[in-house]
Amino acid sequence: MKIVAVIPAHMASVRFPGKILFPFHGLPMIEHVRRRALLAEAVSDVVVATCDHDIASVVRGYGGKVIMTANTHKNGTTRVAEAVKDIECTHVMLLQGDEPLLLPRHIDSFAKSIASDNLADAWNATGPIDLEEELDRHSFVKCAIGLSDRVLHCFRRSPCYSDFSMQQRFIRKILGIIAYKKDFLLHLTTLTASPIEQAEFIEQMRIIENGFVMRSVPVSPSLPSVNEPGEAEIVLQYVNSDEEQRALLERILQ
């Protein structure tokens, strides 16, 4: 098994334009993600896939690897597929560039799950839902988990009516670590965008709607990401209050 980690990135974020270069502690957000990924033992390489020369220039300035892609991609999945088509690997791990609190141990744990499960086509890290209000927060995606940790459905607002304590048992937050068998990823991106994927802007639904198997890989804690401008301050506060995050920040700033 050979895993290559790819961070898709572009400047034209709808809710937070240019967020990928938003500075945290003197480093652009994408550089936090890239450096944290490099600390994981399970990936053989880490590259950034982008169509924007501003992003490419910043990443290369820090010594990072960049693959330039077309500027016609509507999501990170197809951008990553273009980037890896000529890379020799068995699996591709897509890392979201707006998750600057990414933990290297989550990547390594994730890789162990992939190695032990040859029946799945794709895997997505998921975290617990801690607050009831998060069930209806549309800025991040949730999913319902069935038997054998299979992801049954993804959504932005909970469709369930049971008590919060019950929903916590089977609804989890979709986190920014997604992996695919390389051959499956290349096939997936040839398929037409599925109805729910288009309506809800949830890329994972193309996998589910076409009958393929996506497995939940539970990790903890659920880490905040930056989907909207106001969430950047939440990330900064989290770093300041969490011992593991502070220690990791010191490592990547060296």
User: What is the pLDDT confidence band of residue 8, given thresholds at 50, 70 and 90?
Assistant: very high
What Cα–Cα distance (Å) separates residue 239 from each residue in 7, 97, 100, 254? 21, 17, 10, 17
Q: In the chain, what are the helix, strand and coil shares in percent, each to the nearest 5?
A: 40, 25, 40
The DSSP secondary-structure symbol of 137 reads: -
Between β-strands 171-181 and 142-145, what pairing exists: parallel, antiparallel or unpaired?
antiparallel
Q: What is the pLDDT of residue 77?
A: 94
Go through the domains of the chain in sequence order and give each one's CATH number.
3-224 (3.90.550.10)
Per-residue pLDDT averaged across 142-159, rounded?
Answer: 96
Cα separation, 139 vs 153, whole angstroms:
17
- 174 — phi, psi (to 5°)? -75, 125
Q: What is the pLDDT of residue 227?
A: 82
Q: What is the pLDDT of residue 230?
A: 86
Per-residue pLDDT averaged across 163-180, rounded?
Answer: 95
Q: What is the pLDDT of residue 223?
A: 86
Q: pLDDT at residue 204 above 80?
A: yes
Q: What is the pLDDT of residue 7?
A: 98
Amino acid at 103: L
Q: What is the pLDDT of residue 113?
A: 93
Cα separation, 105 vs 21, whole angstroms:
24
Q: What is the pLDDT of residue 139?
A: 84
What Cα–Cα distance (Å) separates residue 243 from each residue in 229, 237, 247, 250, 251? 24, 12, 6, 11, 13
Residues sharing a CB contact under 8 Å with residue 83, sequence separation 6 or more, in sequence order: 6, 8, 47, 49, 67, 69
**What is the percent of the chain where pLDDT is above 90?**
88
Q: What is the pLDDT of residue 228?
A: 84
Tens digit of each residue's pLDDT (9 = 90 or more) over 98-116 = 999 999 999 999 999 999 9
Q: pLDDT at residue 14 above 80?
A: no
Q: What is the pLDDT of residue 225?
A: 87
Tens digit of each residue's pLDDT (9 = 90 or more) over 64-85 = 999 999 999 989 999 999 999 9
Q: pLDDT at residue 224 above 80?
A: yes
User: What is the pLDDT confidence band of residue 12, given thresholds at 50, 70 and 90?
Assistant: confident
Cα separation, 113 vs 40, whole angstroms:
15
Q: pLDDT at residue 52 above 90?
A: yes
Cα separation, 97 vs 94, whole angstroms:
9
Cβ-contact 77, 94 below 8 angstroms? yes
What Cα–Cα distance (Å) separates residue 160 from each residue in 91, 133, 154, 178? 34, 14, 12, 25
Mean pLDDT of the chain: 94
User: What is the pLDDT confidence band of residue 13, given thresholds at 50, 70 and 90?
Assistant: confident
